[in-house]
Structure 1
Amino acid sequence: MRSHSTTELPVVVIGAGPAGLAAAAHLVDRGMTPLVLESGPAAGAAVREWSHVRLFSPWGEVTDPAAEKLLAPTGWVKPDPATYPSGGDWAEQYLQPLADALGDRIRYSVTVTGVSRAGRDRGVDAGREGQPFTVYVHHADGTEERITVRAVIDASGTWTTPSPLGGDGLPALGERTAADCISYRVPDLKDPAVRARYGGKRTAVIGSGASAFTALAYLADLAKDAPGTHAVWILRRGISGSTFGGGEADQLPARGALGLAAKAAVDDGYADAVTGFRTTVVEKAGDRLVLVAEDGRRLDPVDEIIALTGFRPDLSVLAELRLNLDERLQAPVELAPLIDPNVHSCGTVYPHGAKELSHPEQDVYVVGMKSYGRAPTFLAMTGYEQVRSIAAALAGDHEAAERVELTLPETGVCGGAGLFDEPEAAQGDGGGCCAAPATLHIGIGAPAASPGGC
């Protein structure tokens, strides 16, 4: 049973991305005090790193109601709900204004290094639930601090932990040695230096989801201006009817357009598809690289590699807490069956909240993209519903915590063979089943999508 003094402590929120800031807004709306700890110098630091990519969900689906309520007194005007923001738009026009409205409830350039029960390591039972949490942080100036809080909401995302290109989930032999020629992000081809890196070059794109689609479309567009630019698209499984998504049948038109753009890159000869290729070795061949598969196949040399094989959660800062995680997805055990990418798409995941996100360690929640572990089907709207429910639970409003206040569009395009190859871009805590170039010219729907929260 928590003491009165414990309940008056702040609730720490790790990460000032879309889900983290929404969590803080809901806590404020419930009369609680959030303390947001952000490792970057500004709100949405991870989102800013893919600022060149456009979301495939419109503004109407990527802002949170409690956040809008907090922003209203500041004079903030919501952008046209039907238009599609880029990552940069999202950060500058929504996330940073929201962070500014939260004021000194946010601390920047602060890295959380660990969380524990005060005076109790993971193995101690006695008096555990009555203790507050201790959050260890490291400041940019090298100083350290311990902060005492009543609850923990980890919205730190998965952006900093991309999956390796090795087909078994581990780095391929030679992958680290070839690091200078490997990128784990969708390239910003508006940047002259990046454009020069890939222009006229042969690039391997590894992955089968929206981020890979984005890279293929970008490189196809670059090839029109830089002769000799060519992509080798490497898929760990085969190509099927669902490989390119839902196309014109997708209820999120921009996402459907993204899949069609990737298909066009192959059909028009800007990319060659190699299927059933699980990389085990990256060999140096002079200044170029040769990929070798587990079945012994060797590809022709490439100049660059873009590995878009997903992201995974870094759970090390929560190591002293008692979490109950699915052994495959590294998501909460009650949530995992609902987001299994072999079964579900973005729109078929049942909205969920505090109940499904709970752990044996009371008042600890992992939210946003990180809550999905290695599953790729996350939507920004889902994260907002998560934190709404959690804030209600922490406030003792269990009826509201259990109530579902979200209806997702069914799309059916995220499921199917090969999905584990690409848990999408997963940028910060807003990533998920989305990504597409802002300059996509394929004639259907809106110009396209994003790795940062659809």
Structure 2
Amino acid sequence: MQHPSQATLPVAVIGGGPVGLAAAAHLVERGVPVRLYEAGATVGANIRDWEHVRVFTPWRYCVDAASVALLERQGWKQPSADAFPTGGEIVRDYLEPLAATPALADIIETGARVVAISRLGIDKVVSHSREERPFVLAVETAAGMRRDLARAVIDASGTWATPNPLGASGVPADGEATFADRIAYGIPDVLGRDRRLYAGQTTLVVGAGHSAANALLDLARLSDADPATTAIWSTRSTNLARIYGGGDADQLPARGELGAQTRALVENGRVSLFAGFTIIRIREADGRIMIDGETAAGPRSIGPVNRIIAATGQRPDLSLTRELRLDLDPLLESTKALGPLIDPNEHSCGSVPPHGHRELAHVERGFYTVGIKSYGRAPTFLLLTGYEQVRSVAAALAGDMAAADNVQLVLPETGVCNTSFSVEGSAAAACCGGPAPDRADACCVADAVAKDEGKKGCGCGVAA
């Protein structure tokens, strides 16, 4: 069988978010043919779902160097580096102008959903001459299904479209599908387009991350205007380190402030917190809904409530890569090399050691998972991480292995190690204190000191 020369085929990038567009920009910069597929009607489609949310990273942490270079050739002016954009502003002021640049406009296809990836003419079982065959992508569009070929694939499709269920065991709770019309996954626009659904109602927010914090704070603001609006908060864990944050030790002040404000809602009695609550079932009670679960003290119920916001995180969609040979971490479904570095059972730090094409590659040569999808179910991803990932991958695909291996990444410290704040404890239980250190492999002062002494530290990075 004759196969198309892989040298003449483009690199396929899946996903038109910030990291996918950055991958395309770096490949273009290196003269590597590329084609980008975005399932949504526009670039940044997933971000549009939470366009009302102001991120805790300022503009300087939201943009990619190669992308900025393309934009500046068209006269683009970067917003104030220290301003904090909303999701909508990231799309409007960065992603849309980037996609419209002459270098990228003709290589981006929107409304094109990649539903499967394989090798041309063989499934994952066949080894003979496997790497000589190009990748084949099944692409679903309004005009129907087609097959495209690629020399390599960069999967930057993210995880936003595949939220975790409410059920604490990782599977949907009993009744979750039945009451789907009263459950919002992610961060609904409580103060804007979704206001009518939440004003004057009682809402249960489930989750212990920044999405939950944003939802709770918006509900509190709504209650200022409509006192009949109430919020209840449920978390599976009793350790709220990740959401309460590192306070003044956080090098992203907005992130620290988000955690502090959320904590204040609980301490001031504006939000009722049910920590250590694992959801088992959702049922109806006089036209409203009750949530049954388990706690350390035994069975308990929350409610009645009118609506639920499931800010329970996301998981990667592995269905499109079923015919590829992947190397995944068994816990997180991240790339295998990243798993131990980002395991939330060990730490909740916002930084990991620098990593690039070698950590993002799989057994299937030429296939890379990047962006938040490379982290699997772990919640600690920052855009800067994704930008350095795709810079390294693009260099490797261009054959510049020196640049590909020269991975450099400095992330703002969280000031949080693995035990900072629990619902029972205080700051005395924390390992962090004082200003966050400059060391990129340390998440707090105590961690840095421990590593300088040759000890393991408190869970971030690697032992010194």
TM-score when scaled to structure 1? 0.88
1:200 aligns with 2:200: yes
SS of the residue 1:299 aligns to: strand
Distance in 1 separating the partners of 2:395 and 2:84:
30
Deviations 1:37-96 (A, max 9, x none): 011111101111111001111111110001111112111111111111100000011011
Does 1:106 find its partner at 2:108? yes
What does 1:248-263 correspond to in 2, within 5 Å?
248-263=248-263
Report how far residue 345 of structure 1 moved.
3.8
Maintained 8 Å contact 2:26/2:394: yes
Residues 53-452 of structure 1 mapped to structure 2, 5 A cutoff: 53-101=53-101, 102-141=104-143, 143-191=144-192, 194-239=194-239, 244-294=244-294, 295-413=298-416, 415-416=418-419
Partner AA of 2:302 in structure 1? L
Stretches of structure 2 lacking an aligned partner (at least 5 in a row): 423-464
Tell me, what secondary structure is at the counterpart of 1:224?
helix
Q: CA deviation at 1:414?
A: 7.3
Runs of 4+ in structure 1 off by over 4 angstroms are 239-243, 414-419
User: Partners in 1 of 2:51 and 2:115 — Cα distance?
Assistant: 27
Change in CA separation of 1:353 and 1:344 when aligned onto 2, cut-off 3 Å: farther
Worse overlay, 288-297 or 151-160 = 288-297
Alpha-carbon offset, residue 412 of structure 1: 3.5
SS in 2 for 1:297: strand
Displacement of 1:183 in angstroms is 0.7
Summarize deviations over 1:312-361 as a string: whole Å, max 9, x none. Answer: 00011111100010111001111111111233445331121101011110
Amino acid of the structure 1 residue aligned with 2:195: R
- What's the counterpart of residue 427 of structure 1? none
Query: Helix, strand or coil: the match of 1:69?
Result: helix
CA offset digits 1:393-444 (Å, max 9, x no partner): 111111111112221122233755899xxxxxxxxxxxxxxxxxxxxxxxxx
Q: Is the 8 Å Cα contact of residues 341 and 414 (structure 1) preserved in structure 2? A: no
For CA contacts below 8 A with separation 6 or more, give which structure has more relative contact order.
Answer: 1
CA distance in 1, matches of 2:421, 2:318: 25
Change (3 A) 1:175 1:147: same
Per-residue deviation at 1:198?
1.0
**1:181–1:304 Cα contact (<8 Å) kept:** yes
Tell me the SS of whatever aligns to 2:191: coil
Q: Which amino acid aligns with 1:160?
A: A
Distance 2:156 2:243 in 1: 30
Residues 41 and 241 of structure 1: CA distance in aligned 2, closer, same or farther (over 3 Å): closer
Cα distance change of structure 1 residues 402 and 279 upon mapping to structure 2, 3 Å threshold: same
User: Amino acid of the residue matched to residue 103 of structure 1?
Assistant: A
Cα-Cα RMSD: 1.7
CA-to-aligned-CA distance 1:202-233 (integer Å, 9 cap, x gap): 11111111111111111111111111211111
8 A Cα contact 2:186 2:312, kept in partner:
no
Q: Which SS does the other structure have where 2:66 is aligned?
A: helix
Asked if the contact 1:346–1:378 (Cα under 8 Å) also holds between the matched residues in 2, the reply is no
Deviation at 1:190, TM superposition (A): 3.1
CA 1:414 to 1:28, structure 2 compared with 1: closer, same or farther past 3 Å? farther
What per-residue deviation string (whole Å, max 9, x for no partner) do you get for residues 18-38 of structure 1? 110000000001110110001
Give the partner amino acid of 1:108.
T
Alignment partner of 1:347: what SS? coil
Counterpart position of 2:462:
none
Q: Which amino acid aligns with 1:74?
A: Q
- From the superposition, tell whether residues 62 and 252 of structure 1 become closer, same or farther in structure 2 (CA, over 3 Å): same
Identity %: 50
Number of corresponding residues: 415
State the alpha-carbon separation in 1 of the partners of residues 73 and 158 from structure 2. 29
Q: Which amino acid aligns with 2:125?
A: G
Counterparts of 1:300 and 1:4 in 2: how far apart (Å)? 61
Distance 1:281 1:189 in 2: 25
Bigger CA radius of gyration: 2
Alpha-carbon distance in structure 2 between the residues aligned to 1:303 and 1:253? 34
Structure 1 unaligned blocks of 5 or more: 420-454
